[in-house]
Amino acid sequence: MKKTGVALLGLGTVGGGTYRILQQNRELIKKAHGLDIEVIKILDRDYNKSDALNVDRAKVTFDIDDIISDPSIGIVAEAIGGINPAKSFLIKALEAGKSVVTANKELCAKCWDELNAAAKKGKAGFYFEASCVGGVPIIRTLMDGMQANNILEMKGIVNGTTNYILSAMTQCGTEYSDALKEAQKLGYAEANPTADVDGFDASYKISILSTLAFHKHVPLEKVYREGISSISVEDINYGKELGMTLKLLAIAKNNGGKIEARVHPAFVDNAHPLATVSGSFNAVHLLGDMVGDIMLYGRGAGDLPTGSAIVSDIVYAANKGGAKYNYNNGTFKDSDFAGDFTCKYYIRMNVSDKSGTLGKIATVFGKNKVSLQSVLQKDVKDGFAPIVFTTHETGEKNMQKALAAVKELDSVIDVAAVIRIE
């Protein structure tokens, strides 16, 4: 039987999950995939975590070079997270010809070119299924399942923390700050939640996934990003009245060669399969020119789901042997990106309680070529009344111009919310 020696870097939640899977399902992998995977070495800061997992201390090292110099290690699996020291470790491993498997989305998104160059230099395999949407095989699908297709569009709920918070706001009417605290208490959100709630994590993932979907690098700085911290239950509830559910979406589109990539809150129609993806579940919806609609759904985080993706990559890398992926053909040029993007909009504004106000607003929108789809006028409260508009498709720049003009109207107190509809 083929033997594969593996080193694990980092024995936290994901690294620990990976180790447990490799122990618990070692016989399964032998029987089903003809592969005996042995963890040869583990790099972690101290013995605390490895002791807790009953790892023989002789396998634990504090020095990456023990791993790089060990010829019995063919695959290095990383679950440290962050840029340093993970970056230097993985570049060393790749340049030494060891296949790398990683769960590190930030590193993949920020250091894509360097990692791919190191893989090329070392003629090594570079695999990162675990970096996007946990145990859901979205990268395998893009690379090995969609070869016949131009991917036209990708929309994903790719961050469990924000989906948990938005689901709580939607289902229980909990306001953002309380839902965040609840998520932190339950371990779904970090003490410092910025990476999740401000959309950084989702932007890493859509940079990676759109690069694979469109076959050229979509750099992180080309991903528009907006988080969920200003979302209110009021808007979620008006959305419900309109048959829509609010999600933090990661979106990538290829409109005739013009690329868009963005992360922001968006309403989706309740009939769309993404609308029912709630709690800490994730899903990615693809539109291929041949296959049509595809959606993959599952757990986007957690020790065993993410560990499942790492172990899948280890088996894949070991069996794939010499054939390495070529993930992209260069980088998109600035001119390849769409200068503007179009979508429908949800707009809530507070207006003073005077007759004729709605007419004036509609006129200004019309003059600015924004076509309204629906209007919800709510009851007057404290002398002003909220109005909720939805629009037909329009360009983002156009919408900003229209909103600036609407704000000039005397009767408009403020534009309280602008949320895209996807």
- What's the CA gap between 205 and 157, in Å, rounded? 10
By beta-carbon proximity to a second copy, the closer residue of 320 and 401 is: 320
- What's the CA gap between 164 and 248, in Å, rounded? 10
CA atoms 407, 412, 413, 414: torsion sign: negative
How many residues bind a second copy (CB under 8 A)? The answer is 57
At residue 300's C-alpha, the angle toward residues 297 and 303, to 5°, is: 130
By beta-carbon proximity to a second copy, the closer residue of 58 and 323 is: 323
Q: Are strands 126-127 and 224-225 parallel, antiparallel or unpaired?
A: unpaired
By beta-carbon proximity to a second copy, the closer residue of 279 and 395 is: 279
DSSP of 260-319: EEEEEEEEEETTSGGGG--TTEEEEEEEETTTEEEEEEEE--SHHHHHHHHHHHHHHHHH
Q: Which of 49, 105, 110, 205 is catalytic?
A: 205
CA atoms 397, 399, 403, 406: torsion sign: positive
Per-residue tokens: 198: 């401000």
Scanning 58-66, 129-137, 358-366, 379-387 for contacts with a second copy by CB under 8 A, the matching segment is 129-137
On whether the CB atoms of residues 244 and 269 are closer than 8 A, the answer is yes
Q: Is 123 tagged catalytic?
A: no
Q: State the nearest-atom distance from the C-beta of 289 to a second copy, in Å.
A: 8
Among 46, 293, 340, 410, binds a second copy (CB under 8 A): 293
- What's the CA gap between 228 and 353, in Å, rounded? 30
Among 82, 273, 339, 366, binds a second copy (CB under 8 A): 273
326 binds a second copy (CB under 8 A): yes
Among 186, 291, 375, 404, binds a second copy (CB under 8 A): 291
| Residue 44 backbone dihedrals phi, psi, to 5 degrees | -150, 160
298 binds a second copy (CB under 8 A): yes
363 binds a second copy (CB under 8 A): no
By beta-carbon proximity to a second copy, the closer residue of 36 and 226 is: 36
* Nearest C-alpha neighbor of 388 from the set 361, 369, 368: 361
Scanning 55-63, 190-198, 292-300, 372-380 for contacts with a second copy by CB under 8 A, the matching segment is 292-300
Residue in the block written with tokens 């634990």: 60
Among 38, 63, 175, 289, binds a second copy (CB under 8 A): 289
Among 96, 107, 115, 136, binds a second copy (CB under 8 A): 136
Residue in the block written with tokens 């200003």: 230
30 binds a second copy (CB under 8 A): no
Among 48, 54, 147, 192, binds a second copy (CB under 8 A): 147
1 binds a second copy (CB under 8 A): no
Per-residue tokens: 83: 């840029």
Q: State the nearest-atom distance from the C-beta of 151 to a second copy, in Å.
A: 10
User: Would you please indicate which residues are annotated as catalytic (active-site) residues?
Assistant: 205
Binding site for a second copy (CB under 8 A): 17, 21, 25, 28-29, 31-34, 129, 134-137, 140-141, 144-150, 215, 273, 276-277, 281, 288-299, 302, 304-305, 307-312, 315-316, 319-321, 323, 326, 329
